[in-house]
Amino acid sequence: MKKPKYDSLRVGIVCSRFNEFVVNALLDGAKRGLKARGVREKNIETHWVPGAFEIPVMARLMAVSQKFDALVALGAVIRGETAHFEYVAGPCAEGIMQVQLETLIPIGFGVLTVENVEQAAARSRPDDTNKGFEAAQVALDMIAAMRRWG
């Protein structure tokens, strides 16, 4: 089995500025997750977009740039009193999946879709249960899985 050399991998992270207080914690977790596997800080590049709805566009630009072996998408969509949640959460997830399918660049999905701030905080703690940490590890696992095929 071809196991990737993590210290040479290049990983792009796309982050949503909306609910930035949560996304910063997810970003810290993602970087910890990458570094825990040996990805070098200099090989991690972060780009910010206004909101979760814009993540797929930036992810696609990053994927087709051929600069990255994998991407991590980070955001926090917190349900409010209007239908806005549904208009953002589903299309964001679908757009990210479409980018993966079109480009074959794995994307760790770390976009929280939660009911309230308490749920967001519980999923962005500074430990290994942080969804940013998990998304980064998934992206690396997918690189390994995909390399077994080619």
Query: Which residues participate in catalysis according to the annotation?
Result: 84
DSSP E strands in the chain: the ranges are: 11-16, 44-49, 70-78, 107-114
CB-based contacts of 58, cutoff 8 Å, min separation 6: 14, 47, 49
Beta bridge partners of 113: 77
- Strand arrangement of the beta sheet that strand 44-49 belongs to: 44-49, 11-16, 70-78, 107-114
- Selection from 67, 149, 55 nearest residue 99 by Cα: 55
Q: Compute the CA torsion angle 75, 89, 133, 144 (nearest 10 deg).
A: -120
Beta bridge partners of 111: 75
